[in-house]
Amino acid sequence: MSGSVSTADLVAWIRAFRDAVQQHKDELTRLDSEIGDADHGSNMARGLDAVVAKLDPVPDTPADLFKTVGMTLVSSVGGASGPLYGTLFLRMGPALAAGGEVDADALGTALRAGVDGVVARGKAELGDKTMIDALSPALDAWDTAAGDGPAAAARAAAEAAARGRDATEPLVARKGRASYLGERSAGHLDPGASSATLLLEALRDTLAADE
């Protein structure tokens, strides 16, 4: 993989994320049925199908792509997932300079801007048993590995996200619907952290394919 990521690469990432969510839709819904509204998998799958339908023709720049993805998710995904994932992508676009390609540092900066937007919107912190438990360590791992290029950064981020996801199992939820369960929310993986891990794993697999 070269040191840059094209708009086409990023479109492939979004398509891969859609495919991963479709593949794991029932699992995500099962996780959400244990501590939430039992609709995370179906909502995300529906929203990402709508996103992919908007990607032909391919947007001109990464910033255009992320704006399209974010706006579509906000308008088509129910529950908390739409606003949170929509915010993630809507904040990523303006963090990028104009142009058709980004390097590892620029993509990492965009990802951090997106996650900061999710934190601001959801008011969640690390340890609250949310998607932030996967995304926050992924950002740190990305930054550490960015000097080795975007594919290496994505690998490190995906591994860190998976560890963060797994670490949500013993936690007591402090945000969202799961927080209503109190201590009973412990012992279950967080569905948002699980789908966020799929997001990073899809990016890893997309960039690895071009190495």
Question: What's the per-residue H, E or C state across 74-114?
Answer: HHHCCCCHHHHHHHHHHHHHHHCCCCCEEEHHHHHHHHHHH
Of residues 74 and 178, more confidence is placed in 74
Beta carbons of 99 and 81 less than 8 angstroms apart: no
pLDDT in tens, 183-197: 776 878 889 999 999
Q: Which are the contacts of 56, defined by CB distance < 8 A and separation ≥ 6?
A: none
- Of 23-32, 56-65, 184-193, the poorest mean pLDDT is in 184-193
The predicted structure's pLDDT at residue 25? 95
The predicted structure's pLDDT at residue 13? 98
Is 2's pLDDT higher than 60? Answer: no
**Helix (H, G, I), strand (E, B), or coil: what is residue 202?**
helix
Is 122's pLDDT higher than 60? Answer: yes
pTM of the model: 0.93
> What letter represents residue 166's amino acid?
D
C-alpha 21/C-alpha 202 separation (Å) is 10
Cβ-count burial of 57 within 10 angstroms (0-12 exposed, 13-18 middle, 19+ buried)? exposed
The predicted structure's pLDDT at residue 92? 97
pLDDT in tens, 89-104: 999 999 998 777 899 9
Mean pLDDT of 126-145: 95
C-alpha 159/C-alpha 161 separation (Å) is 5
The predicted structure's pLDDT at residue 80? 81
Mean pLDDT of 125-144: 94
Crossing angle of helices 25-35/40-53, nearest 10°?
A: 140
The predicted structure's pLDDT at residue 1? 40
